[in-house]
Structure 1
Amino acid sequence: MPMDIYLVYLAAVAVFFATPPDTSQLLIISNSVRHGLRRSVYTIAGDLTANSLQMTGAAFGLAAIIATSASAFIWIKWLGVAYLVWIGVQLILSKEKADHVTANTSGQSFRLFRQGFVTSMANPFAVVFFGALFPQFIDPTMPVLPQLFILGITYLVVDGAILLLWGWLGVRAATALKRFSFGLVNKVCGALMIGAAALLASKDFQPQR
């Protein structure tokens, strides 16, 4: 892949992320506030794993299937919306204490990973986004698979860095919130989850991650 094309792609991805927090980013903020940045890395890993599968689907032509049979995938989105609302309501009603939330358990790690994975996979139209984005930067005179690999890894690195940044901001916000009460932390995080659900519900075939 020519360097000038790669730099244009990198700039395009950077501009794409230069927006207010999206569904996955709100989830990262919420988990960082409650569990800290180190624990929320599991959520980031879940999100990026889902993105990797979506990129693979786009590379194998799944984007065309989704684009021509959208109604078959709508239920995936609404299941994701219901999942986020369920988590949000649980948090708002929770009386969980800080020492319990920050406990370092493998079960909690899996739950955080699952939240990131399900939230990202609940947007099947991300496959359409990748299917539309990548061909614009592919040089047909060069082997395609190495180019797809470079484009995919670059996207994941940028996405991961942005999610880490939002997580760090969430940790900074947690310091202020915990001065009032941990119950307030739960309510704020629950509201963020429900906000993420609302954003996911609003997604359609417009390019979304």
Structure 2
Amino acid sequence: MLGTHDLWLFILSGLLLNMTPGVDTLYIVGRSSTQGFRAGFFAALGIGTGCLVHIFATTIGLSALLATSAMAFSIIKSIGAAYLIYIGITILRSTQTPLHVKTKTGHQTLKNIFWQGFLTNMLNPKVALFFLAFLPQFVDIASNNKALSMLFLGILFDINGTVWNIIVAWLSMVFISKLQAHHTFALWFNRSIGALFLALGIKLLHEEL
């Protein structure tokens, strides 16, 4: 289909990769657990939109630049790591728990959550390198338009990933809603998510190229 092969294997591999907890999952869980499903939903949409940037970048060759240019990779990595650290500190300092869900989720807040999710994904160079390494494996060598084939695979991966992230947002909301009577536990759970974000940002910042 559209110059691809082993599409079933691509879909299966993509789903398994999306189910592996990472930065995106932590962000969605953190937002959904503090501000409810709508916040997690918008976080998932933001991450999915950020993913599209990498998909189009891979298609036109920007990801190849990141793979071969140490300076470009270093700059993008540093910006992304700094943003992860910022998100981690923000969550750590937050005093919100599920008890505040109905009073703290205005339109502007959801808009900010969307853009934070977008930037969290877009500024992660590992996502670009992942698509560069993963997508070509399922493009037919005889394809007349390999760029279109990669674009198709990327969008399919993003749709599946976004659906999974929305499920994660809902599960996070359900899990935390059962802990509303345990305000202290919920608060420390959210802070642990912030600490993980902070640790990931520091790790990415110091990781060897």
Q: TM-score, normalised by structure 2?
A: 0.83
| C-alpha separation in 2, matches of 1:78 and 1:43 | 22
Alpha-carbon deviation of 1:171? 0.9
Q: Indicate the residue corresponding to 1:58 in structure 2.
A: 58
Residue-pair matches, total: 204
Q: Indicate the residue corresponding to 1:174 in structure 2.
A: 176
**Distance change >3 Å, CA 135–CA 87, structure 1 → 2:** closer
| C-alpha separation in 2, matches of 1:190 and 1:166 | 18
**Distance change >3 Å, CA 148–CA 106, structure 1 → 2:** same
Q: Deviations over 1:160-181 (max 9, x none)?
A: 1221222122112212332111
Q: Indicate the residue corresponding to 1:35 in structure 2.
A: 35
Amino acid across the alignment from 1:74: S
| C-alpha separation in 1, matches of 2:120 and 2:160 | 18
Q: Secondary structure at the match of 1:185?
A: helix
Q: Quote the sequence identity (%).
A: 25
Q: Secondary structure at the match of 1:140?
A: coil
| C-alpha separation in 1, matches of 2:80 and 2:5 | 38
**Distance change >3 Å, CA 187–CA 101, structure 1 → 2:** farther
| C-alpha separation in 2, matches of 1:131 and 1:168 | 31
Q: Secondary structure at the match of 1:178?
A: coil
**Distance change >3 Å, CA 101–CA 202, structure 1 → 2:** farther
| C-alpha separation in 2, matches of 1:76 and 1:55 | 16
**Distance change >3 Å, CA 102–CA 79, structure 1 → 2:** farther
Q: Secondary structure at the match of 2:6?
A: helix
Q: Any stretches of 5+ residues in structure 2 without a counterpart?
A: none
| C-alpha separation in 2, matches of 1:62 and 1:3 | 21
Q: Indicate the residue corresponding to 1:76 in structure 2.
A: 76
Q: Deviations over 1:125-169 (max 9, x none)?
A: 321211111111111333334422321121012211221222122
RMSD between aligned residues: 2.7
Q: Secondary structure at the match of 2:178?
A: helix
